[in-house]
């Protein structure tokens, strides 16, 4: 019962923080420098990882699909399957997991450290709301960076699949056939669905990470515990929320 009450309290204060952050959106143009800093940090930290990971996801997917459908003589559909899988499911989810590991953990660590060393208290005494100064620029940055990450992930995933299809002997599917089948089945709606998913994941990850960081109390040891908690909670959030949002979007 106590754990349940704590969970509701945690969700309630998280929603409160999110609403408070949103209420400061009009102040965003004044914070363009901080926004730019955060965009650069998030992009710089995440783009290479997302690209490498997505390339190999596309490659492995090509191997698995090639192996599975070879006997049916349907290898010309590998491009379609990889294309749709990447754009609708794997890229949004894998991007979210990369963002959790690279951005979410960093946000929690930074805010938790600021909380433990009283920097957040100092902001409050200066009548500067942490939601405006710390959370909003990060939230806006993730909203701007997520589409870039998603496109990088989708394109490198497709390329990974194409490389395997063309150069693995037992698949031997030309690039033209691969991309033609990919293009003929993928619609703009697939891309927008993937984008909606990724944006929702990104916003959720950022809010959870910030909330856990700002709620940290105690000594420096708690910073590490908060980061671990943030990564676990964000990954659980992404995987559970993915089911429901997919159900709605399909």
Partner 1 sequence: MESTVTVEPVSVSIENLYKSFGEQKVLRGVSFDVKPGEIFALMGPSGSGKSVLMRHLVALEQADEGEVLIGGEPADDPGTQGNIRTAMVFQAGALFNSMTVYDNLALYPREHRLYSETVIWEKVTSVMRALSIEGAGRKIPAELSGGMKKRVSVARAIIMEPQLILYDEPTSELDPILAATTTELIATIARETGATSLVVTHDRNLALSIADRMALLMDGKLVFRGTPDDLRNNNDPQVLEFMNPTIDPLNPRFRKQENDV
Determine, following the binding rule CB under 8 A, whether residue 110 of this chain makes contact with partner 1. yes
DSSP 60-99: HHHHHHHHHHGGGT-GGGHHHHHHHHIIIIIHHHHHHHHH
Determine which residue in the list 5, 127, 188, 221 makes contact with partner 1, applying CB under 8 A: 127
Q: Which one of 10-18, 58-66, 119-127, 192-200 is the stretch in contact with partner 1 (CB under 8 A)?
A: 119-127
Determine which residue in the list 70, 122, 232, 248 makes contact with partner 1, applying CB under 8 A: 122
Determine which residue in the list 1, 3, 126, 250 makes contact with partner 1, applying CB under 8 A: 126
DSSP 114-177: HHHTTHHHHHHHTT--HIIIIIHHHHHHHHHHHHHHHHHHHHHHHHHHHHHHHHSTTT---HHH
In the complex, the smallest distance separating the C-beta of residue 141 from partner 1, rounded to whole angstroms, is: 15
Determine, following the binding rule CB under 8 A, whether residue 119 of this chain makes contact with partner 1. yes
State which residue, 130 or 160, has the beta carbon closest to partner 1. 130
Determine, following the binding rule CB under 8 A, whether residue 44 of this chain makes contact with partner 1. no
Block residue for tokens 């192996």? 67
What's the distance, Cα to Cα, between the start and end of the chain in Å? 37
In the complex, the smallest distance separating the C-beta of residue 24 from partner 1, rounded to whole angstroms, is: 12
Instruction: Please tell me whether residue 213 adopts helix, strand or coil conformation.
Output: helix
State which residue, 122 or 239, has the beta carbon closest to partner 1. 122
In the complex, the smallest distance separating the C-beta of residue 125 from partner 1, rounded to whole angstroms, is: 4
How far CA 71 is from CA of 80, 131, 230, in Å, comes to 17, 57, 45
Determine, following the binding rule CB under 8 A, whether residue 128 of this chain makes contact with partner 1. yes
Question: Which parts of this chain interact with partner 1 (CB under 8 A)?
Answer: 110, 113-114, 117-119, 121-122, 124-128, 133
């Amino acid at each position: 019962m106590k754990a349940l009450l704590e969970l509701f309290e945690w969700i309630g204060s998280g929603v409160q923080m999110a609403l408070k952050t949103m209420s400061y959106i009009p102040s965003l143009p004044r914070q363009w420098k901080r926004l730019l800093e955060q965009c650069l940090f998030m992009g710089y930290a995440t783009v290479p990882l997302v690209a490498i990971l997505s390339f190999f996801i596309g490659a492995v997917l090509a191997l698995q699909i090639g192996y599975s459908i070879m006997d049916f003589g349907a290898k010309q559909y590998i491009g379609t399957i990889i294309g749709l899988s990447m754009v609708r499911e794997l890229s949004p989810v894998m991007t979210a997991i990369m963002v959790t590991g690279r951005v979410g953990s960093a946000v929690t660590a930074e805010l938790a450290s600021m909380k433990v060393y009283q920097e957040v208290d100092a902001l409050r005494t200066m009548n500067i709301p942490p939601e405006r100064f710390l959370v909003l620029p990060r939230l806006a940055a993730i909203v701007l960076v997520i589409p870039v990450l998603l496109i990088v992930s989708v394109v490198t995933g497709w390329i990974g699949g194409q490389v395997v299809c063309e150069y693995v002997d037992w698949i031997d599917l030309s690039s033209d056939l691969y991309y033609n089948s990919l293009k003929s089945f993928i619609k703009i709606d697939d891309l927008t669905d993937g984008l909606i998913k990724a944006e929702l994941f990104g916003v959720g990850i950022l809010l959870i990470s910030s909330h856990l960081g700002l709620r940290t109390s105690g000594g420096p040891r708690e910073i590490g515990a908060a980061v671990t908690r943030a990564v676990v909670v964000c990954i659980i959030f992404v995987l559970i929320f993915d089911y429901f949002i997919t159900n709605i979007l399909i």
